[in-house]
């Protein structure tokens, strides 16, 4: 039975998987630059499967941070997915422990966006599963490509890779600073604050700690005040 809405959802899911695949190459390369071998990079993509946290972990490691600081920044970014899960429950209605545990693994930015944006509730589950499958396969495949590819690099190519890693982080950050993202002006102030605090602390605290300290400082500066504001 031809179903144009369903076909459009599937097409978008595959397109999104291909786009995310590019980030997978960048992640694999960043993981290699941070000292992880290809197996460790792949296991992260298979088990953690949440891009920003994976980038944060290898980013902190790459700048010489401790394992604790690396894990801490990955978990900080992973809290997003908790909120996504709450939004997804009424759409996906995962029944039973097994289905819930399976669903949880694919709760990420892309699957949530696609499920929430699905034109009908019945398509939300299709959107979630198709996007999850597409992103999962391509993210893991391209992680391996990036991890193995960067191992074959010479000195100049290594300098190029060193410049690619912060650029990839900037590309992750960029959409948050502009419309239609909620409150882009506040996001820009938060981002600037995070960067300034991290750079200012760099000479004084162990590597990696300045990143988490920057987040804590910004969160304290923006702590709840008695004023009503529309939540995004």
Positions in 179-218 near another protein (CB under 8 A): 182-183, 186-188, 190-199, 202-203, 207, 210-211, 214-215, 218
- 5, 7, 15, 64: residue in contact with another protein (rule CB under 8 A): 64
- 15, 119, 137, 174: residue in contact with another protein (rule CB under 8 A): 174
Per the CB < 8 A criterion, the answer to whether 60 and 169 are in contact is no
Tell me how many degrees the CA angle 12-103-1 measures, rounded to the nearest 5: 45
Single out the segment in contact with another protein by CB under 8 A; choices: 3-11, 120-128, 133-141, 156-164. Answer: 156-164
Single out the segment in contact with another protein by CB under 8 A; choices: 9-17, 54-62, 116-124, 127-135. Answer: 54-62
**Interacting positions 113-132 with another protein (CB under 8 A):** none
Tell me how many degrees the CA angle 45-210-62 measures, rounded to the nearest 5: 40
**Interacting positions 70-99 with another protein (CB under 8 A):** 70-71, 73-86, 88-89, 94
**Distances, alpha carbon 29 to alpha carbons 46, 79, 94, 152, 210, in Å:** 16, 25, 35, 11, 23
- 19, 117, 137, 151: residue in contact with another protein (rule CB under 8 A): 19
Residues in the chain: 232
């Amino acid at each position: 039975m031809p179903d144009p809405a369903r076909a459009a959802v599937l097409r978008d899911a595959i397109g999104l998987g291909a786009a995310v695949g590019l980030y997978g190459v960048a992640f694999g390369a960043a993981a290699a630059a941070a000292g992880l071998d290809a197996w460790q990079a792949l296991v992260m993509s298979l088990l953690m499967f949440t891009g920003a946290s994976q980038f944060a972990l290898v980013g902190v490691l790459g700048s010489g941070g401790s394992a604790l600081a690396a894990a801490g920044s990955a978990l900080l970014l992973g809290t997003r997915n908790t909120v996504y899960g709450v939004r997804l429950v009424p759409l996906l209605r995962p029944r039973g422990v097994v289905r819930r545990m399976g669903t949880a693994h694919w709760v990420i930015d892309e699957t949530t966006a696609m499920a929430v944006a699905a034109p009908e509730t019945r398509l939300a589950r299709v959107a979630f599963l198709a996007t999850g499958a597409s992103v999962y396969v391509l993210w893991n495949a391209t992680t391996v490509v990036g991890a193995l590819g960067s191992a074959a690099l010479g000195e100049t190519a290594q300098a190029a890779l060193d410049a690619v890693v912060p650029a990839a982080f900037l590309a992750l950050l960029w959409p948050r600073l502009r419309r239609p993202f909620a409150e882009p002006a506040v996001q820009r102030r938060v981002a600037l604050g995070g960067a300034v605090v991290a750079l200012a602390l760099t000479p004084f605290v162990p590597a990696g700690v300045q990143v988490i300290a920057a987040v804590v400082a910004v969160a304290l500066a923006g702590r709840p005040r008695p004023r009503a504001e529309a939540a995004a």
